[in-house]
Amino acid sequence: MSNGASATPIGWQPNMMARICTVVVVLFAVWAALGVSTPAGAADGNRLVKVFAVSDPARTGGQPDTLPSIASRTLGDPDRAGEIFDLNRGQAQRDGGALTAPTEQLHPGWILRLPEDATGPDVQVARETAGQNASSQPSEALAGGATVGSNSAATGRTAVFTVPLPAAVAVLGAIVLAVVTAGIVGRRWLRGALTTVAHALRALGDPARRRRQLAERRALGQRFAADTDSLRRVFDTLEEFACVDGQSEAAVHAVRVDQAGATVWLAPSDIAGSRWTNVDSTRWRGPAGAGNSARRGVDVHSTVARRIEPVEACPVRVGTDSDGEPVFVDLSRLDGVLGISGDRTVARDVVQNLLAEIGRCRPNTPVEVLRGPEGAPPLAVPHQLTQAALAVPEIDGVHTPAVDEDTVRGGASRRTVKGLVIMAAPPTEREVAELAALCGSRGAGWTGLVCGEVDGAHWRWYADGHGSVDIPVLGLKLTVPA
């Protein structure tokens, strides 16, 4: 290139601009001369959209679908629930209902439209039929998706105008259209250039950011190891919801504790006592205060022994929420196998932290480490736990699900965590059968923790490379220790 010459973006090449102007002028002149009608909504065919079909709670482990849980499973961010609400506000459903508030309970069979970037196994493809108004109900399901009505106010294809334009006006309109087209092309080119620069800057900053996140997560692990008060307060909270005087126990699936009080995740059908305030369909908030064990001067493990329900709780700190407060999940409600997919390193950190938490909550629990693929580094068993070598029953063939299929379709039952089976990598076919024999509903009754996806597992968590784990059934995203 000679001195003084400057590079011209591709979108602004003079030859391209000339071709655009010529084509547009010819088409515009023909259209003006013939006086073609322009119908509203004349696009041929129906547009494909992404949707989510609300499931019966009996098929999801007893937990109903909510907008935050749907956003977490399909968009990777529960905070994007508002986008799903905006897309479906007032849309009539098959049962005659409609979504009118972000916290409204979703009914099984509802079909909710999703943003275009939604992904995951729960995302279905649907066809949006043209010409349906907002009061239309969804049509019958199609193969691979469902047909949903358009939210457009248009009720048909009506002619809007028919204008024969003089040739001079056609040329002027073509020039204006060509300029607008050139501006759009140039803007896209500029946006693409800026995106490329942003990605490059982000890539340069990723190593430093990851080192900072790793240091923070290691500090979080040290904080968990030194914090016994939170665990004591969680046991006191669980004791309050235990079966007392013949009344049914409220199913507490998770507990968040902080200086001001505690938050519990209950089943939608359960109701907390008068000192608790309902936050949404599953969360309840209670005031702070010293628990029974703290007032009596007893330790955490004697508190566990005083529990009067037949199944002992096993609360473990999974991580901290966006406010930095610890969140405990009761593993006694796991009923089989927990599979943690996504980033392998972070998934291992999750399992390693759960082992440390179980060592603090239930010391001397036996642990069996199943063999994994060659090259997978083993998981470390804390000294508070006892390594055991289980006699895996003989398996005829390898076509056995990791968890009993009837249990997967029904609600998960609660059982004591009497032993752990851990795997550092996704299981092979034979190891899937071994997990079924040890952890299935008709197996030995142990609890499995697997770094990877396991078909049929009641609980599935998702780890990302930034040190977080997603718990879709609870609508939680937590930072985990390293």
Question: What are the pLDDT digits (tens) for 19-34?
Answer: 555 555 556 555 555 5
Q: Which one has a higher pLDDT value, 173 or 94?
A: 94
Query: Got the DSSP string for 371-425?
Result: --STTPPPPPPPTTSEE----PPP-SSS---SS-HHHHHSPPPP-----EEEESS
Q: Which one has a higher pLDDT value, 117 or 295?
A: 117
pLDDT interval class at 357 (50, 70, 90): very high
Q: Which one has a higher pLDDT value, 44 or 211?
A: 211
CA distance 403 to 336: 7
Q: Which two tokens stand for residue 99?
A: 């979504």
The per-residue pLDDT for 176 is 81
The per-residue pLDDT for 293 is 45
Over range 7-12, report the average pLDDT.
44
Measure the CA angle with vertex 443, ends 439 and 447; round to 5°.
20
The per-residue pLDDT for 352 is 94
Phi, psi of 467 (to 5 degrees): 90, 25
pLDDT interval class at 243 (50, 70, 90): low
Q: Which one has a higher pLDDT value, 169 or 139?
A: 169
The per-residue pLDDT for 2 is 43
Q: Which one has a higher pLDDT value, 172 or 104?
A: 104
Helix (H) or strand (E) holding 27: helix 14-34
The per-residue pLDDT for 30 is 55
The answer on pLDDT for 102 being more than 60 is yes
Half-sphere exposure of 296 (CA within 13 A, CB side): 12
Q: Which one has a higher pLDDT value, 393 or 250?
A: 250
Q: Where are the beta strands (DSSP E) in 105-232?
A: 111-114, 124-129, 141-142, 145-149, 159-161
CA distance 236 to 295: 11
Half-sphere exposure of 20 (CA within 13 A, CB side): 19
- Listed in sequence order, the residues at least 6 apart from 385 whose beta carbon sits closer than 8 Å to its beta carbon are 355, 358, 359, 363, 364, 365, 366, 367, 420
pLDDT interval class at 174 (50, 70, 90): confident
Question: What is the torsional sign of CA 418, 332, 69, 255?
Answer: negative
N-term to C-term CA, the chain: 54
Q: Which two tokens stand for residue 25?
A: 């002028």
Percent of the chain with pLDDT over 70: 68
The per-residue pLDDT for 114 is 94
Percent of the chain with pLDDT over 90: 26
Select, from the ranges 9-13, 34-38, 88-92, 309-313, the one with the highest average predicted confidence (pLDDT): 88-92
Out of 37-51, 285-299, 348-362, 434-448, least confident range: 285-299
The per-residue pLDDT for 296 is 37
pLDDT interval class at 394 (50, 70, 90): low
pLDDT interval class at 395 (50, 70, 90): low
The answer on pLDDT for 295 being more than 90 is no
The answer on pLDDT for 219 being more than 80 is yes
The answer on pLDDT for 241 being more than 50 is yes
H-only helix segments in 227-287: 229-240
Cβ atoms within 10 Å of 104's Cβ, excluding its own:
14
Whole-number Cα distances in Å, 83 to 79, 129, 221, 462: 9, 21, 35, 22
Q: Which one has a higher pLDDT value, 115 or 163?
A: 115
Q: Which one has a higher pLDDT value, 291 or 347?
A: 347
Out of 234-238, 243-247, 421-425, least confident range: 243-247
Out of 15-29, 129-143, 229-243, least confident range: 129-143
Select, from the ranges 23-27, 213-217, 332-336, 440-444, the one with the highest average predicted confidence (pLDDT): 213-217
- Listed in sequence order, the residues at least 6 apart from 14 whose beta carbon sits closer than 8 Å to its beta carbon are 8
The per-residue pLDDT for 136 is 39
Q: Which one has a higher pLDDT value, 6 or 479?
A: 479
The per-residue pLDDT for 402 is 42
Q: Where are the beta strands (DSSP E) in 268-312?
A: 277-278, 283-287
CA distance 336 to 456: 10
- Listed in sequence order, the residues at least 6 apart from 316 whose beta carbon sits closer than 8 Å to its beta carbon are 328, 329, 331, 354, 357, 358, 361
Q: Which one has a higher pLDDT value, 431 or 399?
A: 431
Contact 188, 9 (CB under 8 A): no
